[in-house]
């Protein structure tokens, strides 16, 4: 069974400093992994995805993530935080098989990112 653990429920950084949001996954199959962002009172937006191609994945707004199979990790990073990055971030794993072609996602609990001026 697939599962995701986000290691920090809340991360606080200063504007202009690096961001690291940690995610470990468990999967019986070669996984597809995603990071989604949710700004306050908004829907979810896809930041980036890993689907067994390059292990370093670049996303929108300067975010990137590295798939490390040996560590079962998919941490999200950004070199320099901006105030607009304040949001909730979800690490997501796609189940290794598709039922009737549907894609089943398993979400982590979320990490709230706060940016200090």
Partner 1 sequence: DAGITQSPRHKVTETGTPVTLRCHQTENHRYMYWYRQDPGHGLRLIHYSYGVKDTDKGEVSDGYSVSRSKTEDFLLTLESATSSQTSVYFCAISQGHEQYFGPGTRLTVT
Smaller CB separation from partner 1, 86 or 107? 107
User: Phi and psi dihedrals of 60, rounded to 5?
Assistant: -80, 160
CA angle 45, 49, 50 (to 5 degrees): 165
Residue 44 CA: distances (Å) to CA of 39, 48, 68, 105: 8, 12, 25, 13
- Minimum CB–partner distance for residue 77 and partner 1 (Å): 20
27 vs 94 by CB, closer to partner 1: 94
Binding site for partner 1 (CB under 8 A): 9, 32, 34, 36, 42-46, 49, 51, 90, 94, 99-105, 107-110
42 vs 82, which CB is nearer to partner 1? 42
């Amino acid at each position: 069974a697939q599962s995701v653990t986000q290691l920090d429920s809340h991360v606080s950084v200063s504007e202009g400093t690096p961001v690291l949001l940690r995610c470990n996954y468990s999967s019986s199959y070669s996984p597809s992994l995603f990071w989604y962002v949710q700004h306050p009172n908004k829907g979810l937006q896809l930041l980036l995805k890993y689907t067994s191609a390059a292990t370093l994945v670049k996303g929108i707004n300067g975010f990137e993530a590295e798939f490390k199979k040996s560590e079962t990790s998919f941490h999200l990073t950004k070199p320099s935080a901006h105030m607009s990055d304040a949001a909730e971030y979800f690490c997501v794993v796609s189940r290794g098989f598709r039922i009737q072609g549907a894609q089943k996602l398993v979400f982590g609990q979320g990490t709230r990112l706060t940016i200090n001026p």
